[in-house]
Amino acid sequence: MAVTDEEIVDALRQNKFSELSERMTRDELLKFSTRPRTLDEILAMAEGITGKPPDGLKAPDEYEHALYAVGRVYGPDLLVWWDQRSLLDTNLLSKLLCGVWSLAELPEKIGRPRWIRWFRKTGFLSNCGASQPTKPLRVYRGCTHRQVRHMAWSDDLRIAQFFANYRFERYGRSGPKSFVYTALIEPRGVLAIIEERKGEREVIVDPRFLRDIKRIP
């Protein structure tokens, strides 16, 4: 008998998916591993690790454990769910925001306005001791032309060059062309400065305050 969606959610909620997987066929396991998680599954994954419903968490470390449970792909979705229920006060959001952004595979999939609102609510953030600039900051981004007004930039040209080359290596000549762009971001447009794994330094910006955007030859 095929495993139902309800059984999957219950198993995730009880942190017993490994037991349920023994009943699943190879095709069922393949389908589960390759399809996006439903919201019910995301919430169940969080509850399975914390032992509490996602709307019953109290301490910041409980929220962090829940985010760890859902992984880098679904962290932003869980943050949205909490936000929609007014569970994120400014202090809690300040503790979570940099980590969720830096780990997310595609952070802007939940919408740029939402991220900007969150960062405006907390004020400037940094996980590496950086201060908010007091004058326009030169930043760089490796991307396609259509992606140039996204939020993730760097103040290190080498990082932008790496991402431009990475996209070429990943998609080849048949994919969209990537270039290195530079711009000035006004101080009020710098939302956060985050140091990620491998020493990558990311400048999170409100794209409305980017100016003098140019492609580097």
Confidence of residue 199 (pLDDT cuts 50, 70, 90): confident
- What mean pLDDT comes out for the span 70-88? 96
Question: What pLDDT does residue 196 have?
Answer: 81
Beta bridge partners of 194: 202
Express as a percent the part of the chain with pLDDT over 90: 86
Is the model's pLDDT at 206 over the cut of 80?
yes
Express as a percent the part of the chain with pLDDT over 70: 95
pTM, rounded to two decimals: 0.89
Q: Where are the domains of the chain?
A: 36-123, 126-216
Structure tokens given for 55: 């709307």
Mind listing the pLDDT tens digit for each residue in 136-184?
Answer: 999 999 999 999 999 999 999 999 999 888 765 565 555 678 899 999 9
Confidence of residue 1 (pLDDT cuts 50, 70, 90): confident
DSSP string, 31-55: HHHHSPPPHHHHHHHHHHHHSS-TT
Closest CA to 147 of 192, 184, 186, 177: 177
End-to-end CA distance of the chain: 60
- What mean pLDDT comes out for the span 39-67? 97
Rg of the chain over CA atoms, in angstroms?
Answer: 20
Is the model's pLDDT at 6 over the cut of 80?
yes
CATH T-level fold of 126-216: ADP-ribosylation fold (3.20.170)
Mind listing the pLDDT tens digit for each residue in 112-138?
Answer: 999 999 999 999 999 999 999 999 999
Question: What pLDDT does residue 217 have?
Answer: 87
